[in-house]
Every structure is written in C-alpha cells, then in structure tokens.
Amino acid sequence: MLSVGRREFRRYLLPLATIFAFIALLFLAWGLLNPSTYKSSAMVLVQDNTPIAPLMEGRTAAPNEVARAVISREVLFGSAVMQDVLKAGGWLEGHPSPLQKQELINSIINSTDITVTDRAQTRSTDPKLSLVKITYSDSDPKRAYAVTKRFSEALIEQVLDSRARASRSAYQFIDAQVENYQRAFSEADRKLREYRSANPDAMPGVDTDVSARIAELRRAADNANMDLADVGAQERQVMSLLSRESQLNTVSRSTQTNVRLATLQAEQDRLMLSYTAQHPDVVRVRNQIRELQNNPGASSAAMAVLPGDTASMNPVYQQLRAQLAEVRRQGAASASRLATAQALLREELQRSNRIISNEGTVTALTRVHDVNKEMFDDLLKRRENARVSMSLDADGRSLGFQILEPASTPLQATGLRLMHFAVAGLLLAIVVPLAMLSMLVKHDPRVRSPLQIERDAGLPVLGVIPLHLTHEQSERHAKRLRLGTMLFAAVPVIYGLVFVLKMTDVL
C-alpha cells in the first residue's frame, strides 16, 4: 500500500499540492484578516466615606449592584467622556464625520466591559467599598492602553462631578423647602397669635385654669349652701327659744342687790386673774362691793325705778335677741357668698363653653403650627448636613479613589492569534491531501499491482508490462512535478515571510 501510495502521490502531485497550498494560504489570509485582540484593564477602588443617602433617609432606597453598574456605564459612556476617548485613541486625527463618530463610539462601547463589585459591610460604621474594573479590547495594544487609561481617569472625574452636582442639587432642594416651610411656619404662628389675641380664652392652659376655677366655685357654693342651711336651723331654734321668753322681768329690790353684788364679785374675780390687789380697778370694785354690803338700802334706792317691785329687761331675752341678730347676719353673709359663688360659677361655665366652642379652631391652628415647626426644624438640620456634604463633595473629599491596577500596555494578544491560524492551516493542509490520497488508494477498484491480482483472483502472475510514456507525456508529467514541488515549497516561504513582517510590525 505504501508503494502504491507513493506512485499515486507522484501521479497526483499537482492536485494535492494545489489543495495543500490553497488550505494553508486560506488560513493564513484568514489570520491576517482577523487581527489579534489586545485587552487592557484597570481596577479602581471607590471608598464611600460620607454618603449623601442620610440626607434623604427613609425616602430613597440604596442602589444595588446592577444599578451601580448601570450608573457607571452611563457615566463612562456619556458624550463628553466619549469625545475624550476618541481623542485619546487617535480616531479624531482622521476627522471622521458625525456618522463615523457614532459608529466608532458604538464599537468602543461594545468592546468595553465594566464590572462593579460592592464589598459587604460587616458593621454599620464600615465605609462602603466599590471595586470598578474597566476592560477594553482593541487590535492595537497602545490604543487599548490609552483608552483604558482615559476611562479610569474619566470614571474618577465624572463620579466626583456627579457627586458634587447631586450634593448641590440636594442642598438647593432642601434650602428651597426650608424657605417654604419657614414661610408656612411664620404664617401659622401669626394666625395662631392673632386668634389668641382676639380670644383670650384660647391661650394655652386656660382650660385647665377654668376647670380648676369651676371646681373651686362649686365647692364654695356647696359650702355656702350648707352654711346657709345651718344658719337657718340656728335661726329657727333661736326663734323658738325667743318665743318662750318674756321681754321684761319683775325683780325685787333684794334680788337686784344680790344680782348687783354677784355681778361685782364676778368682775373682781375676773380682774384678779390679770391684776394684783393694788390695781385701781380691783380697788374700785372692792369699794363698790363694800359699799353695797354696808348700805344695801341706798343702793337699792338708787337702782329702783318704781316703788316696790322693779320691771327690767330680761337678760335671756336680750341674749337671744343678740344671738338671733348674729345668726341672721351669718345667714345674710352665707346667702351673699352663695349668690356670689353661683354668679361666678355661671360666668366660668359660660367661659368654659366658649373655650369648648373655640377648641376645634385652636386645635387646627395649633396642629398646623406644630407640624410646620417640626418640619422646619428637621429641614434646618438636614440643610446643615447637606451643606457639609456639598462642601466635602466640592473638594472631592467624600469619596476616596485608589487605583489598584492601573492600565498597562498589553504585551500579548488574547484569543486566536495569527500563529494559531497558521498552525491550524498547515495541519489541515497536510491532513486533507493525505486523507484524499488514502481514500483514492483504498477505494479505487482498478488493479494497481500484481500482488492485488494474486490475492484477489488466486492466480499466479506470469509477467508485467511496464508503463511506457511518450516524450510529450514525460514532459507533461515532469512539468506537473515541478509545479507541485513549487507549490509545496512556496507555502513555507510565504509563511516565513509573513511572520518576519509581523515581527517587524510591518503587518
């Protein structure tokens, strides 16, 4: 089979060489037309020290990883950044048209990959860390480096600028809201003060004072009513006693003397409780007692009004009359207190009704006043926080940037390179002709050797007539051999020339 194969190879050298050269050069051309891809990447660490999110706490949600990636792509693929990228990559040197610029921008976007990774916070006090990786692919390694470097720089510039704009916008919004709520608070305070000035009963704490005053007046009226009832009972008792007493008493002279003597004796005892025996009043009373005892007739004569028995005012009656007058005076005072307390109680009840009728208006005005005051105070604090955040963002201090992996010029292409296409082309160019030759030898039904006749027919071969070519056939066969050999030799020469030009950066 090997000898048959060698003969068939020499016989079909030109077609096999043509197939070999075609496949090898086809893959070589494919590799040249498919340029190598160079990737350059940069990694930027973003540390968020003072986020603006607390300014809108409870009103916005923190962005997730997908939202952060979208934000980064929108920032990096903006028109301003893309103009700088086109300039850094040298595309603007050819003065492309607007349509060509847009096509270039779309191509750059498709060749750029942005990945944002957030580190989970173990404690609430830990700063938020975001790792942004920018990867750009291009056929030119220097351009890949320049574009990636510009993207990493633009990320820092645009994020800081966007941060500053967001802080400034938040401050302006909160400042406008502060002014609005200040006007609303001032208006609510003015209305509340005017209403309280026009209605003194609407002052704070008046309802408590009025309730306490009503309770006090009710106790005073109840006490006065009880006192009046007590005085009335006393007056009825005194009137009953007074009706049983006579206004005048008939007293004998001896009785008058005894009464006079007893009176002086009682006065002496009273004076001795406070003074000595030498006191003038004590001496005077003793002299009167002595005179009355020594000359009772003279005294009786002096005291007598009529001869015989003497009519005098009944002291019990006089005492009851005085007691009745006192009771009536107390009754009049109690009645006066009761009337005064009831009048004041009616006034306080009317005042309480006015307070209750004004309570709805006061409550509404107070609610509006308190709500506006609360919002105003809260927004004042938020405005100060926003002012500090805006100052930090304006100075670029709220975010910390650290380039962990700066952009670099790629030294080796990624993916399929020219060498891969060349090796694959050579292998395929060798395998395909050999496979075709093998199929020709194995499956061709023609007899190609005497051994084939002896093996297949089982008959001995007596002789073999050799192939004899004419001069023209020999010339034509030699020409085909030369052409086939030249094709086989041309492929390595072309491959070597291409690789030399590639190494010298000519291609």
Residue 200, classified by CB atoms within 10 Å of its CB into exposed (0-12), middle (13-18) or buried (19+), is exposed
Residue, of 358 and 136, whose pLDDT is higher? 136
**What pLDDT score was predicted for residue 396?**
54
The size of the chain, in residues, is: 507
The strand pair at 112-119 and 128-138 is best described as antiparallel
High-pLDDT (> 70) share of the chain, %? 73
- 8 Å CB contact between 151 and 111: no
pLDDT digits (tens, 9 = 90+) for 462-502: 777 666 667 777 787 788 888 888 888 888 888 888 888 87
pLDDT over 60 (residue 53) = no
**What pLDDT score was predicted for residue 62?**
43
> Which residues, in sequence order, are bridge partners of residue 134?
42, 114
**What pLDDT score was predicted for residue 64?**
44
**What pLDDT score was predicted for residue 446?**
67
**What pLDDT score was predicted for residue 299?**
47
**What pLDDT score was predicted for residue 302?**
44
Residues 6+ apart with CB under 8 A from 173: none
pLDDT over 60 (residue 170) = yes
Q: Which amino acid is at 182?
A: Q
Task: Copy the structure tokens of residue 360.
Answer: 């709805």
Residue, of 303 and 82, whose pLDDT is higher? 82
For residue 153, name the pLDDT band (cuts at 50, 70, 90): confident
Whole-angstrom distance, CA of residue 273 vs CA of residue 453: 183
pLDDT over 50 (residue 19) = yes
- 8 Å CB contact between 282 and 275: yes
Q: Can you list the pairs that 215-219 forms with residues at least 24 positions away whose Cβ atoms lie under 8 Å?
A: 217/341, 217/344, 217/345, 217/348, 218/345
> Which residues, in sequence order, are bridge partners of residue 115?
133
pLDDT over 80 (residue 297) = no
Whole-angstrom distance, CA of residue 204 vs CA of residue 302: 78
Among 13-27, 44-58, 196-210, name the most confident range.
13-27
For residue 128, name the pLDDT band (cuts at 50, 70, 90): low
pLDDT over 80 (residue 291) = yes
**What pLDDT score was predicted for residue 301?**
45
Mean pLDDT for 273-288 is 83
**What pLDDT score was predicted for residue 247?**
62
> Which residues, in sequence order, are bridge partners of residue 312?
249
pLDDT digits (tens, 9 = 90+) for 229-268: 888 888 788 777 767 766 655 555 566 677 778 888 888 8
pLDDT digits (tens, 9 = 90+) for 224-233: 888 888 888 8
Return the biggest CA–CA distance within the chain: 219
Task: Copy the structure tokens of residue 418.
Answer: 């020219």
Residue 156, classified by CB atoms within 10 Å of its CB into exposed (0-12), middle (13-18) or buried (19+), is middle
Computed over every residue of the chain, the mean pLDDT equals 75
Mean pLDDT for 172-189 is 85
C-alpha dihedral (154, 158, 159, 161), degrees to nearest 10: 140
What sign results for the dihedral spanned by CA atoms 235, 238, 240, 246? negative
Residue ranges per structural domain of the chain: 2-33+416-503, 38-180+377-405, 248-312
With residue 45 as reference, give the H or E element that holds it.
strand 38-48
High-pLDDT (> 90) share of the chain, %? 0
> Which residues, in sequence order, are bridge partners of residue 131?
45, 117
For residue 287, name the pLDDT band (cuts at 50, 70, 90): confident
Residue, of 308 and 172, whose pLDDT is higher? 172
First to last CA, the chain: 45
pLDDT over 50 (residue 67) = no
CA neighbor of 408 nearest in space, from 109, 158, 147, 154: 147
Q: In angstroms, how far is CA 468 from the centroid of its own chain?
A: 101
pLDDT over 80 (residue 113) = yes
**What pLDDT score was predicted for residue 56?**
44
Mean pLDDT for 338-345 is 85
CA neighbor of 197 nearest in space, from 362, 320, 80: 362
For residue 415, name the pLDDT band (cuts at 50, 70, 90): low
**What pLDDT score was predicted for residue 304?**
41
